[in-house]
């Protein structure tokens, strides 16, 4: 059994309700292009958050990472961590499920049963050195990298493409990744 501090519980609850809530309240959104295909085995591993559209469940976070691994049952284990302003580490573990017929580019993530939320892999480079994740409402967006830094020209190219897809890239906030020993 895992014991959580009050702030950790709030972080976990907020994360699942806000992300997963997208699925419940739905809406009609312009089409959102995803990666043509995703090799889940190559996508697995640690990702560093380079930037995100601000959201309440990550307020005060730095050194944010996401780690994915394949589970024996075929699902994907998800572990998200961040360092809060007071130095505490917030960690949430969940599962992801591939949406059938999406070439592995559309996932549903679940941090609390029965809530599931969209997690769409919008793009990745051939080497899986970076990835971009968003949702159809365009309210949530994350730019991820295998390293804590991303070359400026790569970042600009990503944000140019995201702007064309209707994301408010001017609101992106870069994630501090200088905490050491994440």
pLDDT tens, residue order, the chain (182 aa) = 344 444 444 344 344 434 444 443 456 888 999 999 999 999 999 999 999 999 888 888 999 999 999 999 989 999 999 999 999 999 999 999 999 999 999 999 999 888 999 999 999 999 999 999 999 999 999 999 999 999 999 999 999 999 999 999 999 999 999 986 54
Of the candidates 36, 46, 122, 116, the one whose C-alpha atom is nearest the C-alpha of residue 75 is 116
Q: Does a structural domain hold residue 121?
A: yes
Number of structural domains (the chain) is 1
Domain containing residue 118: CATH number = 2.40.128.20
Is residue 108 assigned to a domain? Answer: yes
Question: Do 139 and 53 touch, CB atoms closer than 8 A?
Answer: yes
What is the pTM assigned to this prediction? 0.84
Residue 110 domain boundaries: 32-174
**Strand 62-70 relative to strand 45-52: parallel, antiparallel, unpaired?**
antiparallel
In 3D, which of 93, 92, 112, 109 has the Cα closest to residue 8? 92
């Amino acid at each position: 059994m895992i014991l959580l501090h009050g702030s950790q519980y709030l972080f976990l609850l907020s994360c699942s309700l806000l992300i997963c809530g997208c699925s419940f309240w739905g809406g009609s959104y312009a089409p959102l292009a995803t990666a043509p295909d995703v090799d889940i085995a190559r996508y697995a591993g640690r990702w560093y958050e380079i930037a995100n559209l601000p959201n309440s469940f990550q307020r005060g976070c730095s050194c944010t990472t996401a780690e994915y691994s394949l589970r024996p049952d075929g699902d994907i284990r998800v572990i998200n961590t961040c360092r809060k302003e007071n130095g505490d580490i917030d960690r949430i573990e969940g599962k992801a499920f591939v949406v059938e017929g999406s070439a592995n580019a559309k996932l549903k993530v679940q941090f609390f049963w029965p809530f599931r939320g969209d997690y769409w892999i919008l793009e990745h480079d051939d080497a899986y050195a970076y990835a971009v994740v968003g949702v159809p409402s365009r309210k949530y967006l994350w730019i991820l990298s295998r390293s804590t830094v991303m070359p400026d020209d790569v970042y600009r190219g990503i944000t140019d493409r995201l702007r064309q897809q209707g994301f408010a890239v001017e609101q992106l906030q870069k994630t501090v990744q200088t905490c050491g020993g994440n």
